[in-house]
Structure 1
């Protein structure tokens, strides 16, 4: 979440507010520790019922506007609304059984997530995987702490979660404030000295950023509208033969056809100025089931020469058109071009840590750097930060990024990541505000029709 906030808000926006971010971070950290400690002695002073009402209200608002979503967004909103309603019901139930069920569900979620992260770290062995493994162990221990009854006999589960949320949120804000205080460029995007130096040199000649003329859009860009385009060939859509059905696996990892051939899909990024990001192995990699597990290791022995495709027209003609496209209006062409000029100097390809999907995701982050602050330009205030934080897709993007960084970027993850970031960069009107406006317009039209019908009605008969 820290790196994603730095990317979308931009270093300049955060650097101008580092003192306030630091103060808010310490406040949330202290409050979170107080709430967590309060739940340890069994005598709760925390208003747990208030959390239940907040969850219930959020659930009602989410379910009320779930129909306005598209595809996976609609399913995500339904899942969120149902989960919040279930949590609120368990909180209101209040006795031992409600607290017990809620504790078990939350604890199992932590344990499963920790096991998934630990397994991926041990299998992929990417750089600094030991750090991710340490966080995974901590998450598993936190899940076990939620499941076992000592010392509060499950009554402190909700305060634990609220306190932990405040603690992590406060710590993240402190980290952001500390990092951006003296930064001249964004390490969340560049990540290596040569690219960072190029960014600093380029920033010296940048023109001041201005606010966009439009801050909200009703939908994605039209086909004839200039926009950044993320092309994704899904594993199933790019397979040459009919694939076997494996839920989730063939969506996010790979598809296996009837001949046993594995298809991992592909991802590319296209800009209106001609920039095209598409990395592919120069020599086709053997992706048979016997060798696929070995190729998952993000180690030097699995590095192979890569090839950058010249354009989407050439690549799609040689292969097939992309399965899905995600288009974004609010991007920085200069930052994207600067990133691409540096990134393409290294033609190394690795199936796990430097593949087509990771290249597209990094290029997308470079293009969207400062997108949230750019919506308002120099007038961007705390409202820009608040709006970004309350956008559900930001939290989805953060979770996707966490999974991809600790495991590997795949076309499926890149597709969901681009969709989530598009909702932050090109924000849509708030769902419940849209519903309220539609309801008011319908009431106004109905009243107008009623008045028109009343004026055209026959006068009453004289008695």
Structure 2
């Protein structure tokens, strides 16, 4: 969450405060230690009240945003995001007789088991860069789930607080590293060049540019993101919830239908990346091709235009209009990305071309006065928590079209809501950051 928040506000405002941010990180680490110590007494009454009240305050804060939702769809989205801190608050503030801690432990354990199994399977089958580390993390997740279910090393109340203290510890470590990095960052280098963001080298093409771009007005041409969902292919008859949205789905011909994503800005700028030779889509070969080993790399090509892609393949099933981005940064990113024609299904695919490019283009889009207040406002938005979760899944697997669409949707919802909640409309004329539109339909959308 912290990494995304600093990216959206930009490094310029925080560069003079590198040591302050590092010191804040040390304070958060110390708070994590005190929280863990409080859990050791077997009651953790103070931590329960503190965290429960904090999450309850966040939920109530977002109640106004829920009431100001512009349409029914956005109302559902905001209720869902408000429900996250409200559920945590209910679990932490519930009387012991209601066993809220036990329920929270079970929910956390189930989440750890699901994520651990997925992470372990991907590490063993796909072998993305850093896969040994992912195996260690997956085993630790499964071990933590076992501890939560068997009430070890503490009772449910203590284990829940231990989990929260671990989250604090990781946040403090990120703050500490961000502070060190910002202290060394020059005026031109992108914050994405930090090792905190570049674990897969996806941000090697983040541009180093001087100055910032003025906010785009509602009258300027939006960036269009086109999305081909796997389940929207004409010969797909099977539905696999979640899988057919984010990965691939079997088609009627015995092959695998995967999605695609591209970007268009005017007639002269189009981001779309595809392998030179069509990948064999049979189920067996498709799984074998999903490997991060260099031996599976192939030559890629850059599609010249949206019209060419539609004529050569088919029309997308959805398009999204994005208004918060830096055109200069996006163009510089793409000029750098195009220097390498290596294509990899899991390390350098169509979504890897688009996702990191959009992050590069969104650096500093919420820059402005009162940066610390902006940082706080972002951190209390549950939508940012969801965006961080999506980004984390992409980090250990890969960017997919579904991940890109949902990630950018959450980021833009967060910024829309932040503007309404802080009265910072002076940052730019208000316009929805990302608007989805149906394209000429080809099939049911996931």
Q: Normalising to structure 1: TM-score of the pair? A: 0.79
5+ residue gaps, structure 2, are: 424-446
> For 2:88 and 2:236, how far apart are their aligned partners in 1?
42
CA distance in 2, matches of 1:110, 1:303: 32
Distance in 1 between the 2:2 and 2:61 partners?
27
Distance, in Å, in 2 between the alignment partners of 1:195 and 1:152 is: 41
1:409 aligns with 2:404: no
Select the structure of larger CA radius of gyration: 1
Rate the CA distance shift 1:157–1:59 in 2: closer, same or farther, 3 A: farther
User: Which residue in 2 is equivalent to 1:324?
Assistant: 318
SS of 1:297's equivalent in the other structure is: coil
Return closer, same or farther for 1:365/1:273 CA change in 2, 3 Å cut-off.
farther
335 and 59 in structure 1: CA distance in 2 versus 1, 3 angstrom threshold:
closer
Distance 2:237 2:246 in 1: 14
In 1, Cα distance between the equivalents of 2:112 and 2:272? 36
2:371 and 2:99 mapped to 1: Cα distance?
A: 45
Structure 2 length-normalised TM: 0.82
CA offset at residue 418 of structure 1? 1.9
Secondary structure of 1:181's aligned partner: helix
**Who is 1:114 aligned against?**
116
List per-residue Cα deviations over 1:415-435 (Å, max 9, x = no partner). Answer: 1112123335565644799xx
**For 1:5-404, what aligned pairs fall within 5 Å after superposition?**
5-59=5-59, 66=66, 68=69, 76-82=77-83, 84-90=85-91, 91-95=93-97, 97-184=99-186, 185-186=189-190, 188=192, 191=198, 199-200=207-208, 203=209, 206=210, 208-209=211-212, 212=215, 225-237=220-232, 239-272=233-266, 274-373=268-367, 376=368, 379-404=369-394
Q: Write the distance in 2 (CA, Å) between the matches of 1:198 and 1:86.
A: 38
Bigger Cα displacement from structure 2, 256-265 vs 53-62: 53-62
CA distance in structure 2 between the aligned counterparts of 1:94 and 1:10, rounded to whole angstroms: 44
- Describe the superposition over 1:349-381 as per-residue Cα deviations: whole angstroms up to 9, x where unpaired: 1111111011111211111122222xx2xx353
Shift in CA distance, 153/195, structure 1 to aligned 2, threshold 3 Å:
closer
Asked if 1 retains the 8 angstrom alpha-carbon contact of 2:301 and 2:341, the reply is: yes
Count, aligned residues: 416
CA shift for structure 1 position 186: 2.5
For the residue of structure 1 that corresponds to 2:46, the secondary structure is coil
* Greater mean deviation of Cα atoms: 335-344 or 75-84: 75-84
For residues 404 and 243 of structure 2, what CA distance do their matches in structure 1 show? 15
**Alignment partners' CA distance in 2, 1:193 and 1:264:** 24
Residues 252-273 of structure 1 deviation map (CA, whole Å, 9 limit, x = unaligned): 1112223323210111012247
Q: Do 2:192 and 2:206's aligned partners in 1 also have CA atoms closer than 8 Å?
A: no
Residues 2 and 54 of structure 1, relative CA distance in 2, 3 Å threshold: closer
For structure 1, list consecutive stretches of 5 or more residues without a partner in the other structure. Answer: 215-220, 434-463
Q: Please tell me the root mean square deviation across aligned C-alpha atoms, in Å.
A: 3.2
Shift in Å, 1:70: 6.8
Kept in 2: contact 1:52–1:92 (CA 8 A):
no
